[in-house]
Structure formats: structure tokens, C-alpha cells
Structure 1
Amino acid sequence: MFMAISLLPFFSTQALLLLILLFSSTYVTSQAPPASNFSCPVDSPTTCSTYFTYLAQPPNFLDLGNISDLFGVSRKEIATASNLESEDTPLFPNQLLLVPKPCGCTGNRSFANITYQIQQGESFYLVSTTSFENLTRWQEVEALNPSLTPTLLHAGDKVIFPLFCKCPSNTHLESGIAYLITYVWQPSDDLTKVAAKLNASERNIVIENNYVNFTAAVYLPVLIPVSQLPVLSQ
């Protein structure tokens, strides 16, 4: 009895450490998209036209003009890619849009670099997760803006935000894949629903992202291989 009681603190400590380790591993996994997914393939062009999905959100991004300003593309380009009737079509919360943007290699990673002007009280993390809806990570933003101190940002500072993207390789093109759309996985998503929404193959999505269980991809950018742009139901 004495031995069993004396060992309890040891086992409790071990169990606690194990739980902390498991939580930390899960947190790290949920914060970082696989680096290999967005690397620059040796057999792909240095630049290409690509597309990002974006959810219209109040209060600032329920307007096509504000979204076009954010991404630095015209309202007409977004309206055409997103199957909207016109540039003046009213948007509703969580409406899915397609935003066209050139993609290219920065170092050994593929990004679409967007210059953004910091507003009062904003941080790399806040802009990455809200305005850009996790299409980038604050770590990449910090690395790409070495002259700025993240804790000392001022209104008006111009910051480059690198959005994850990827150009199709020759292998992709030979298999009929014309675009790799960057899509941020949502908590309510499942593979079948996302594939149907973007007119993609479930098998191709799994292969492209190396995921077995996409619950690990919630709020992370993933690549959706498509042979042609989906016609979004609006």
C-alpha cells in the first residue's frame, strides 16, 4: 500500500507531462501548414496565375470594393472568377469568392505577395487571421518584413503579406490539372463537400495535401487541384 501511494505523484506527473506534450503537438500541427505543400516544384514555372478562395465577412469585407482593394485586383476580376452577375452584386456573410492573383517563388516557397497598410492597433497575427482569413501565417509575414518590429507597428506601415499558393508542375499539367486553388479548411467542411463545391476530385485533394484526416487542416490553407475553374453557385 505504501509503495502504491508513494508512486502516485510520479505517475500523475508523467501523465501530466504526456498530456502537455500531446496538446503542444496538436497545437503546432494546427498552426503550421506542411511546408512541402507550398514548396516550389523544380518542374513548375517560376510564376503563374492562381486563385484564392475568400469568404465575404462583415463588417469590412462584405463589399467587393474592399475585397478588391485588399488583394490588389479589380472588382471585375473577382466578379468574373466568382460567377457574380456584376461588380455591384451585393454579398452576403460567408459567401465564397474566388480571387485571382499571380503566384511565384520567394526563396523555396510559393507565395502571392500583397502589400498591406497597417491600421491602428493591428498586428501581423491579427491581419493574417482576420483580413486574410489564414491564407498566410504571421511567421511568414515576420520573416518577409525584417525591417519591421512586430511589437512596434504603426498605422501606415506598409507590410508584405505572403499568401500561400502554388503553380502546377509539369506532372500536374500532364495529368490534366490546370490550377491549384488555395482554400482555407473550415470547421464545418468535409472532403466530399469541398470537392463538390470546387469541382475537384477527392482523391486528388488527398494526394496533393498528404492528409488522411482533414480535421487536422482546420483553419489551414490547403491546395485544391482542378482541371478548370469551378463555377461557384451564387
Structure 2
Amino acid sequence: MFLCFHSPSIKSQQQYSANELFSCQPTDSFLYTCNGLLSSCHSFLIFKPQPPYTTVTAIAALMSANPRHLARINNVSETAVLPPEKHVFIRVNCSCSDHYYQANTTFHITTQAKTYFVIANGTFQGLSTCGLLKHANRFNEFKLEDGFKLKIPLRCACPMKDQVVSGVKYLATYPIGYGDSVRDLAQRFNVTAESVLKANGLSETSTIFPFTTLLIPLRAEPSSAQTIIQRYMPETSVSSAKGSNKKKPLTVGIAAACSFLVFMAFLVTVLGVVYRRRKGQAEKNEEMMISPEDLLVEIASFEKIIKVFSFRELQKATKNFGPKCRIKGSVYRGVFGNQIIAVKKMGIDVSKQVNMLSKIYHFNLLKLYGFCTHKDSSYLVFEYMTMGSLREWLGRQRSEETHGLCTRVQIAMDVAHGLQYLHNFTKPGYVHKNINSSNILLDSNLRAKISNFSLARTTNNGNDISALSTIMGTRGFMAPEYVGNGCVTSKVDVYSFGVVMMELVSGKEAVVREGGHEVLLSTAIATIMEGKNAETELRSITDLANEENGSMEYAMQMRGYKGI
């Protein structure tokens, strides 16, 4: 067995690992411990169809499962295309090896820029972990190339003795999504909330996180009726509401039930994750002007990933950079073949951005398709984001469906994931230095991606502290320590992200007008949260007036978090 962890003590139940699973470092929380009655069993994994895994055969191949069994359990044909609004139940063989349960599959790398973190949390939706993949495979996590075959351990478990006695036949591994709560999952799978809590070592007041897993104890094979993804509104308690002391429901810590408490708790959680300091010294990035010929030589090694466009191709795609194709500033909408693209005209030196964007890959970072150099200008070609910037979206006429708190929390989570990857899962790490609502773009599904890496700096060996003589950024989003002394750390991005989240909650811009004067939104909200009439004043500047009644009450409980 490849895991070199210490032998765990036998416990009466599995323990929920929370956000420890996001770590790529060794931990005994990667897999469930072998404390069941059996050393091997059939168990179920729950998976949400997503391209290119939208058919029975594709999902079965991904999970090394039997397509006939998969089709039968989900009540579909073996040739069926599965809709994204339904989960898929996958039966796997779960066995104990060296004190840990796991199912096994393999995965062939098809995109050179992928990392263990992306594969575990993107492709396998948290059913595996970055740390598991690092321990299971000999390949360097930053040098995964086309054709590499990876071993993928999957998180599963067998029922314990007391579960078997109570009638439990299977444990299903469920990857938590936005808006999930234990009560809702128990209702969906026709089990008690108490049985789910006990199976995962949770209490009624515990917090759960997306991209982590819960074990669902089942008395029979799951039915096709349970594949429908449902989102419920929160109730006031997990158990009966008798008595005066009601308990809050166990919910996803960042989006469940779309309450403001959860939203603020998410802010604290993400700040803690992304705020981690690194060790070592920052790499020094000296500004350097180079010719187009030098640029082509420097980026030649990236031609397999990044396309070198001709200027004529870009002229044709953007109708000669005509006014009808102009999106904003120096950014143009273009059509290249059957693909819509965004073309950004820039100065001559784009080598650093191209170099950086050629080596990183994450769903929440804007994808670079290619570049072009022509005379005294360079052009970067990006994926096109239908809904424009977050700042533009917040300023549009709102509807409850599109601008509800759930949608805004989803956007915040996307930005947090992008920053976490940028800071902690690239080599070298990067500080964006210009996170703001205009540099966060939204696709047609309102999924957010970070853009504009022109000010980004590398870090060295985890210690990203460095100083700049020239302060560059966007007013209202720059951290005080950066404005004061030019100090650049990942905390610069964290501060900016906090301001973006305030914009998401309030709908207001980072710089607001009060009494004829301009005031930073962060200062205004911090002042309100410290005041005596915080609830009333907070309602006046947020979009939460029409949200659930409990949202503002919960928000007041977070007043102690002045640092955010």
C-alpha cells in the first residue's frame, strides 16, 4: 500500500475530515478507516454528470465500473446521455488495505496543464483528493503530461457492526455541493438525519464543506428517484422544534440555505485557507522589454498549448477591430471558426502573462487560447465570457433568480477557488495583485473566472513577501500594507477578495459616496458592524432585506469578526 500514514486507532464511526481534504500534504484523513464489519463490500459513489462524462459508458469507464450495473441502478439505458440535474449512482468494490478502505480506478492525462488538485476536485468531484493522488503516483504534480496513467484511489467505506445490526446494507459516498445540508440529504435518501450524523462523526452544529464527502447509510440499493438533485430551504432545527432552545441545522458552511450567516462564515473560512503564509523569499521580477522575435523564441516551448495567431486572423475575427466588436477599452469580441473569442490589445511585452497562463490551469482562471505580435503591439486571445464582468453584472437590473444570495455565494466560491489554486497549487505560486469586480468575469452560467494577470508576481518557496517602489492597483481594493509600504504578499489578494465579497453582499461599488464625500466600502461596513445599530444600518446598505428573516439575525452573530 502506498500510504505511509500511521495506523489509526479503531473508532466506533468514521470521522468527517472537513477541509483537511483540500490539503496536498500527508494526512490520515484522505481515506475512511477500516472499522467496518467486513474487509470488503459493495458500496456506492455519487457523481454529477459533467462534460465529457455525461454518458453511462463514459462515467463507467472513469470510475472503472460495470456500465450494465450503472444503467440498471440509475434506471437508464446503457447508451443514455445523463442530464446535469441528476446524480449518478456508481456501484464499486470497496476493500480494506493497510487500515484504509478504498475503491480504485485509473485516469489518463489528456491535458498537459492538469494537476492532482484539479483532477481530484474537478474531474472526480472530491471523491478522491490531491494528497491521495500524490501518494498513489510517482509523477511530479506540476509535470503531468499527456498519456500519463494515474492511479486514482476513491473514498468509500463498509458498514460498521452496529449499522449492519440496524439494517444498513450499503454506505454511499456523497460529494457535498453548494446548498446541501444533512437534513436535506437524509430526506432525499429516506434515512434519518441522526444516522447520517452518526455515520460521519458529526454533531447537529457541525459545519460541512463543498468538495468534501459524507457517508450516507442505505438500507437498500439507491433508487433512480433519488438521483434528482434537490435544494431545500433551511428549517429552524434538525430535530423536533419542541422547547425554547432550537438548534440550527447542519448545513454547508459556505452556501447552505443561502443565509447571510453562512455567507460570512464562508468569508472567514476562505480567508483562513488562502491567508496561509509561505516560507522563503519572493522571486524578483524585473521589468524587461523584448522584441516580437525574442517573444516568439521565449514562448516557442508553449506552442503545443498556446496558439500563435497571425494578425490577419485576428483582423478577420474582429472585423478589423471594428467598433461593433469592441467590448470595452482595448478588448474586442471575435469569431474564430465556430468559436467566440475575446481579443485584448496590449503593449509589446506580454511574455510574462503568456508564460504564466501557459503553465497554469483552473476552471476559475480565464483561459488563454493564444497570442499575436504585430508591429508595436501584442494581442492576447482569451475565452469569451458571455455575461461580462462581475461589476457590470451587479449593476444590471436584478431578479431574485439571477441575483439571489445563492448565486452570489457561488460566484464568491469560484473566486476563492481560483485564488487558492493560484497561491498554493502552482509552482511557483502567484499573487494576482489586482483582484477587483471588473477583473472577475462571468460565463453564461454565472460561473466566475479571474482575469487580467498583468500585475501578477511570482513567489518563491512559499514566502511571498516583497516590496515594490511603484504602487499599482485599483482604488478601494488595495490592502493598506500594500498602499503604505508596497509590501506584496498573498494577503494583498485576500484583502481585495474581501472587498469583492462586500460588493457581492451589498451590490455597491468599492468606493461609495456618503454625505458628498467618497468613502471606501470596506471602511463603511466595518464602521457599521462596530456600531450599536448595526442590524438596522446593515440592512440599509445590503441586498439582504428580502432574504430570509433569519439571515440578518445570523449576520449579527458574526460581528466579532472585525478583521474581515
TM-score higher than 0.5 here?
yes
Question: Where does the alignment leave 5 or more consecutive residues of structure 2 unmatched?
Answer: 1-16, 23-27, 229-564
Matched, 1:50 2:50: no
CA distance in 1, matches of 2:121, 2:19: 13
Q: Mean alpha-carbon deviation: is it higher for 166-175 or for 30-39?
A: 30-39
Residue 147 (structure 2) aligned to one of 150, 156, 160: 156
Matching of residues 131-150 of structure 1 within 5 Å = 131-145=123-137, 147-150=138-141
Secondary structure of the structure 1 residue equivalent to 2:224: coil
CA 1:180–1:80 in 2, change beyond 3 Å: closer, same or farther? Answer: same
**Greater share of residues in helix:** 1
1:115 aligned partner: 106
Q: Are 1:222 and 2:222 an aligned pair?
A: no
1:48–1:104 contact (8 Å) kept in structure 2 = yes
How far the C-alpha of 1:108 sits from its partner, in A, is: 2.0
Whole-angstrom distance in 1 between the partners of 2:132 and 2:108: 17
SS of the aligned residue for 2:151 comes to strand
Larger Rg: 2
2:80 matched residue in structure 1: 89
Paired residue secondary structure (2:185): helix
Distance (Å, rounded) in 2 between the aligned partners of 1:69 and 1:55: 15
Contact 2:30 2:132 in 1 (8 A): no
1:82 Cα deviation after fit: 1.7
Query: Per-residue deviation at 1:37?
Result: 7.7
CA RMSD of aligned residues (A): 2.2
The residue number in structure 1 matching 2:32 is: 38
Q: Deviations over 1:110-137 (max 9, x none)?
A: 1111111122222211111111111011
Q: 1:108 to 1:140 in 2, by over 3 A?
A: same
Deviates more, 1:155-164 or 1:208-217: 208-217
- Deviation of 1:153 (Å): 1.7
Q: C-alpha displacement at 1:32, in angstroms?
A: 2.4
Match of 1:19 in 2: none
Task: Work out the CA distance in 2 between the residues paired with 1:232 and 1:201.
Answer: 19
Task: Output the TM-score relative to the length of structure 1.
Answer: 0.79
Give the aligned partner of residue 69 of structure 1.
Answer: 61
How high is the sequence identity, in percent, across the aligned residues? 22
Given residue 101 of structure 2, which amino acid in structure 1 is its aligned partner? S
The one of the two structures with greater contact order (alpha-carbon pairs below 8 A, sep at least 6) is: 1
- 8 Å CA contact retained: 2:168, 2:219: yes
Query: Hey, what's the Cα distance between the residues in 2 that align with 1:184 and 1:48?
Result: 20
1:194 to 2:188 alignment: no
Q: For 1:202-217, list aligned pairs within 5 A.
A: 202-212=193-203, 213=205, 215-217=207-209
Answer yes or no: is the 8 Å Cα contact 1:134–1:220 preserved in 2.
yes
2:173 aligns with 182
Cα contact 1:199–1:230 (8 A) shared by 2 = no
Code of the residue aligned with 2:65 in structure 1: it is V
Output the CA distance in 2 between the equivalents of 1:214 and 1:71.
Answer: 30
> What is the one-letter code of the residue matched to 2:98?
G
Aligned to 2:142, the other structure's residue is in SS state: helix
Q: Is the contact between residue 198 and residue 232 of structure 1 (CA under 8 Å) also seen in structure 2?
A: no
Once residues 69 and 206 of structure 2 are traced to their aligned partners in structure 1, the CA distance between those partners, rounded to angstroms, is 30
CA distance in 2, matches of 1:231, 1:129: 26
Aligned residue number for residue 232 of structure 2? none
Give the Cα–Cα distance (whole angstroms) in 2 for the partners of residues 192 and 99 of structure 1: 23
Paired residues in the alignment total 203
Structure 1 regions of 5+ residues with no counterpart? 1-27
Q: What's the offset of the Cα at 1:214?
A: 5.6
What SS does the aligned partner of 1:35 have?
Answer: coil
Query: What CA distance in whole angstroms lies between the structure 1 residues aligned with 2:143 and 2:31?
Result: 32
TM superposition shift of 1:173: 1.1
In 2, Cα distance between equivalents of 1:229 and 1:217: 26
In 2: Cα distance, 1:51 partner to 1:75 partner? 14
